[in-house]
Chains A and B, each alone.
Chain A
C-alpha cells in the first residue's frame, strides 16, 4: 500500500514559514474580556525555548536540516518531550499552521529512520507491537478480559469475525489492556446492549490502530498495522455487513480519521464504511430519540477536551494553487469535525448534571500530558501535568471531570492521585450508562 507521509526534508519550505513570533506560546482569546493561559505542557515543565511550543520545535527542525544540529541524546530526548497536542497549532496564524504536528512527527520519523530513537522506554512499544500487535505487551487473550462481566451476565458480546453485524465496536488497546480504563469499553458495550444494537467486536483478533507508533515516528510499525486493519475492515464490509466502526478511543479515532487517509488506497478500502466516535454515535441516537435519559445524576462536573478528539480533527483550508491568496497559503480552518460541542450537549442532556467549564477548553484545551508517547516515555511528567489539569478542573467547583478518551482517563486519574485530589476522571459513557435504564424501548 502506498502512503503519502512526508519526511522532514519535504517539509523544509513549510517550516520556514514560521516567523518565530511566539504567538504559539500562549493560549489566548481576545474576548473581550481576553483570556490568556499557558498552552504547552513541555514549555511549562522544561522552560527553555526549544521545548516551548511550535516555535521551539521548528528551531530544532531548522537546525537538523541546516546541519547545525546533529543527533545526540539530549536533542532526541527534547524532541520526544512533546505531547504533539496541537495546542500551539491552535494559536498560530501562519502558513505552516496546518503542518505543525506533522513537522514534529517528521523529526521523530527521521530519528527512527536514522536508527537513533525513539527513547529507550518507548522502544518497548515498537517491540510490543511486533510481538503482540498492541503497545502494552499484553497477550492477545487478555484483550478480552473486559468482556468477562458480560459473559457472567449471560450477555456475551458478538465476535464480528464469526457473526455478521453492521456495527464494529473497535475497542482500542488502552480500553482492552489498561486495567483501570476497562470501564470505558464496559460502559460502551453496556449502553449498546441496553439500546439493543447489533454490534460486534474483533475479540482477540483486534490489533492496534497504530496511533502510538505513528506519534513516536515509527512509520513502519504504523503502516503494518494500519494496512492490516484497512484490509480487515474491507473484508468485514464485504463479508459481514460492516457499515459503521465505532470507537471510544480518541487516539484510534484520530488515527482512522487523519492518519489512515494518508494511504492512497484509503477511499477504496473504506468505501461504504463510516468511522464514528462513541460520543458522536450516541449523540446521533439521542437526537433521533433512541437514546433517552430518565434517571438523574446530580453531579457537578467539568469537561476535558482530549486533543485527539478535539483540535487534532481540525481541517485546514490551504490555497494549493494560489487562486485564493497565494500558493501554499493557510486560508482558514474548519472545526466541524472536532468533538467540542457534542460531548457537552450529551452531558447537559443528562438530568441533574451541572457542567462547569474550565479556563482552557476546546481548541485551547490544556493537554492531559499523556499523548505523543509521553505517558510511556516520561510517565512522571505525564502524571504531573495531569495534576495541573485536575487542579484547573477543581477550580471550577466541579467534583468530577469527564472526557471521551481512555488515554486521558488513565493519565488524569493518575494525576489526580498524584496531587491527592478526590476528583476522578470519568468517561462520558460511564455517566450515560449510569442513567440509562436497563431496557430501552
Chain B
C-alpha cells in the first residue's frame, strides 16, 4: 500500500505506510502462537498499538509492524525468534525508540519486540567496576542505581528513558568519550539470542557465567553484534564498565570566530588527555533551541564555542588540569588564532554537562522551535577533516534554510571524533521534512567523501555508505549476516545490503 496523503491547511501530511499485508488467517495463527509464549496481554495486532510504533523523531517514513510483542525473559525471546525464523517474519528489537535514525521503524513489517519490561540491573559490582544490564534498563534507571555507589557511565545527550544497551551496541556516545571512548568501547561481555533462537555468549561470561569483566583477550566476537543495528541478534544481557565520579568538576570554555581556530585548539588540548568530554558547537547549536528556520548569527557573536569537561579527585589534580588548559589557550593565542576564554550560554552548558538531562533529553534545545522532527548527519570523522566538512555543511544547511547546528567531539585523544549537525524540522509538514532529509543526505555525502562514517544510520545513509564500500567489506558483511541470520529476519533492510 502506498503512503496515504492527506491535504490540510495547505500542508501535506504523510500518513503511515503499511507493509505487504499478512493474510488474516496467518496473522491470527501467529498471534495465537506469540500469546502462548508471552501471555495474552503481551502480544497484539491492534492497529492503534502498531501505529504507536510506526514513527519516531526522524525523517524516516512511518511504517507499521504487523505484531508488537512485549518480552520479559530470555526464554521468551528465544522461543519468539524460533517462531519468527521458522515463519520468516521480520523482527525489530525495540527498547524506547528514541534514536533519530528510524532504526526501529520496521522496513518490512513483521514483529516489534519491545524490551522495556526486560529492565533488570542483573549485577552491579562496585569493586570490579562493571554492571550487567538487560536491554530495557534506561539511562535514568542506571544513573539512579550507580549514584548509590558514586559511580557513573557515559550518559548520552538523550532522554533519561533511553536504553543504555541500545545506545552502547549502536556505538552511541556518552559524556566521557574523550576519556573512555564510545559507549560501545565500555562493553565487557554479552549474552545474545541469535536470529535462529540459539543463546550465545561472548566475552568473559562465555567461559565463566559469573565473569562479565572483559571482552578481551578472546576473539572480539562482540563485534558481531555492535554497529549492526539489531540485524544480527538480540543482546539480552550486556556487561558494561562503570567508573567512579571524581568530586571536583571544572569546565573550561572558550570561543572563537572560525572552525579552523577551534580545530587547532581542540587538537592541541586533546593531546594532553585531561578531559572527560572535549566538545565544540557552532553558534546555532549553542542556542536554546536551535533556530528554525535558519537565522543568521549576529555579527559580533563567536561562531564556535567549546566546553571541556574535567573531573578531578583533588584540588591539586584540578590545578594541574587547569595549568595544562591555560598553557594550551596561551599557545593558541600566540599562534594568532581567535580563541578567547568565554562564558558559555548557561542553559546550554547545563543541558550538556548535567546528564542524563531532561532539558537536552527532551531535545528542547534541539527541535523545540521547529516542532516534531529531528535528524542528523551523525558521523565519526577524522578531526583534520572537520573544518573543511563544516564549511561545506554550512553552505548546504543554509541553502536549505536550516541552521548549521554542528557539534565536534574528540574521542579518547585519537584525533577523530564525532561530527554531526542536529537538524530540526517541522514534522507536520511533509515538504519541510523532505527538505531536511535532502540537506542531511547531502551533508552525509560530503562527510563520506572526506573519510567520515555515519553512526546509527538510517537506510538512506546505509545506501550511500555501501556505494562507496570496498567490495570485500560488503561481501564479508553479507556472509556474516547470512551466517547469523539465514532467513534475513532481523531488522531487515536497515543495512542497505
A residues at B contact (CB < 8 Å)? 13, 16-26, 28, 30-37, 46-50, 56, 59-60, 63, 66-69, 72, 74-75, 78, 91-95, 325-326, 329
Contact = CB atoms under 8 A, between A and B. Distances in A.
B48 A69 contact: yes
B373 A33 contact: no
A91 B427 CA distance: 22
Contacts of A19: 57, 362-363, 367, 372-374, 427
Given A30-B357, A60-B52, 6 more contacts: A22-B96, A23-B161, A26-B161, A28-B140, A49-B114, A59-B55
B446 interface: no
A390 to B, nearest CB: 22
Contact of B427 (A16, A31, A67): A16
Q: State the 6 A-B residue pairs at the shortest beta-carbon distance, nearest first.
A: A36-B140, A33-B147, A50-B52, A23-B362, A59-B52, A93-B362
Interface residues of B, number: 56
Contact of A91 (B144, B358, B374): B358
A37 B138 CA distance: 10
B109 interface: no
A75 B46 CA distance: 8
B36 interface: no
B368 A93 contact: yes
A21 B428 contact: no
A63 B48 CA distance: 8
B490 to A, nearest CB: 20
A325 B364 CA distance: 13
B114 A36 contact: no
B372 A68 contact: no
Contact of B362 (A31, A46, A94): A94
Contacts of A326: 369
Given A30-B354, A49-B97, A16 B16 contact: no
Given A17-B372, A36-B160, A50 B51 contact: yes
A13 B49 CA distance: 22
Q: Summarize A's interface: helix, strand, loop or mixed.
A: loop
A417 to B, nearest CB: 24
B6 A67 contact: yes
A48 B356 contact: no
B42 interface: yes
Contacts, number: 153
Given A20-B56, A21-B57, A21-B98, A34 B49 contact: no
B90 interface: no
Contacts of A46: 41
B371 interface: yes
B258 to A, nearest CB: 29
B148 A67 contact: no
20 contacts: A19-B362, A19-B427, A20-B55, A22-B159, A23-B358, A30-B354, A33-B144, A47-B117, A49-B49, A49-B53, A50-B49, A60-B51, A63-B48, A66-B6, A67-B4, A67-B6, A68-B16, A93-B358, A93-B364, A94-B362
Contacts of A68: 4, 15-16, 51
Contacts of A49: 49, 52-53, 68, 97, 114
B368 A50 contact: no
Nearest to A60: B48
B159 A23 contact: yes
A16 B428 contact: yes
B116 interface: yes
Given A36-B144, A48-B44, A21 B15 contact: no
Contacts of A30: 354, 356-358
Interface string B138-179: 101101100110000000000111100000000000000000
B359 A93 contact: yes
B157 to A, nearest CB: 11
B70 interface: yes
Contacts of A24: 161
Pick from A21, A25, A66 the residue with the most CB of B within 10 Å: A21
Chain A CB within 10 A, most for which of B13, B49, B428 = B49
B116 A47 contact: yes
Of A19, A75, A93, which is in contact with the most chain B CB atoms at under 10 Å from its CB?
A19
Contacts of B466: none
Nearest to B56: A20
B361 interface: yes
B314 interface: no
- Most interface-central of A17, A20, A35 (chain B CB within 10 A): A20
B47 interface: yes
A358 to B, nearest CB: 15
Contacts of A329: 368-369
Contacts of B48: 50, 59-60, 63, 69, 74-75, 78
A22 B162 contact: yes
